[in-house]
Amino acid sequence: MPPWQMAGGLYGGGGFNIIIAMHIRQLLPQRDSPVEDGKPLQGTWTSAFENVNLLDIDRPYKIPLPKWILDFRLKEWHTFTVQNDDVWLEAIIIDYKFFCFLEIVFWDKHTKENMRVFKTLPFSAWRMPQSLNDSIIEQAGAGFSFCVHDRVISKNIIFDVTIDSAIERPVFTVHLEFELNVQKSTPLAVNMLMAENRSMYVFKCFCGVNGSIVFGGNNMTLSPETASGIFQDCKAFIPYRARYPNCRGFGVDTKGRRFGFSFGEHITKKLNVNNENALWLEGTLTPMPPVRITDAEPGEMFIQDLEGMVDLNFKLLEDTVTTLNFFIIGMEHKNPVGQFNGMLMTRDGEKLPVRNVIGTVECFYFKL
């Protein structure tokens, strides 16, 4: 039985419909940094910070630790998710400090052909930027190279990656330009407390995407009119053992309007006041309430809230699991592709039907 039916009919499963309260979030005026006077701020903003360095926090842990140990506890990553009517692509660049990795998942919606590339390097082979205003990440390794040029101040984020050919896999080349000024979408930036003096920072935006994908001799062109994407920048003091499920998807509704959503389930504090959950409809941002992501039958999940604004069902199409184990250090990353169906509600109270929208329910299991 779906969780919403066991909730006494909160979402209609019991024969009636109730909305407890519309989620309301205070959007704060912009600051230069989410850390001030050695203390992490908690709140929601609508633009990226000039500088994000969580190591500026005074004593994130109860005992004083040297900066190099704190740096090892701080995990940082970028996520690029893109799709149009033909393809789905997601790329993740992560600096876990013990190791770095690049993962790319590509799925052709028509042929059902899929490709997964996973590359890892020891320690901090690359470093994530403290600012998204004109910063560059570059790396070349055995069989791959990539470059990220974050230019949020210029409303543009560029991602280039080349994966050399291998057995049963041709050369794979990607060029993506996230055009933040095309849809005039409002970004979301949050800093969430995981402990009294420890936080998780997330910046995310939904926008049109320009670029190309070359794979197997096919050159697929992406244009902002038909291709959309979600970009995420995350930094967090992750506990040694932690679970971080999150989901995202985007498409076009029955009225031809472009929409996207991105939700995360956290162990952070005061989620009803501050969280990373967002819905965009034609560029208009709706901060969303906390959600629970629950497993149902194999290959099926439910994503729901307690305020009647999120009621989604996810069914698996292609599964992807990456596992790394190095003695006491390990990680499992599940990044399946599937279809969302259900309903989302905007800040104006409009119920937005979600029909066969391609997306992912991602889950990190950390032992770092």
Residue 113's pLDDT is 85
pLDDT at 21 (0 to 100): 53
Burial of residue 312 (CB within 10 Å: 0-12, 13-18, 19+) is: buried
What pLDDT, in 10s, does the model give residues 60-88? 999 999 999 999 999 999 999 999 999 99
Show me where the domains of the chain are located: 21-367
Tell me the mean pLDDT per 10 residues along the chain, length 368. 33 37 83 95 94 96 93 94 96 91 92 88 90 94 93 91 88 94 86 90 96 90 95 92 91 94 86 90 94 89 94 94 79 90 95 96 84
Quote the pLDDT of residue 320.
Answer: 87
Closest CA to 315 of 333, 332, 328, 303: 303
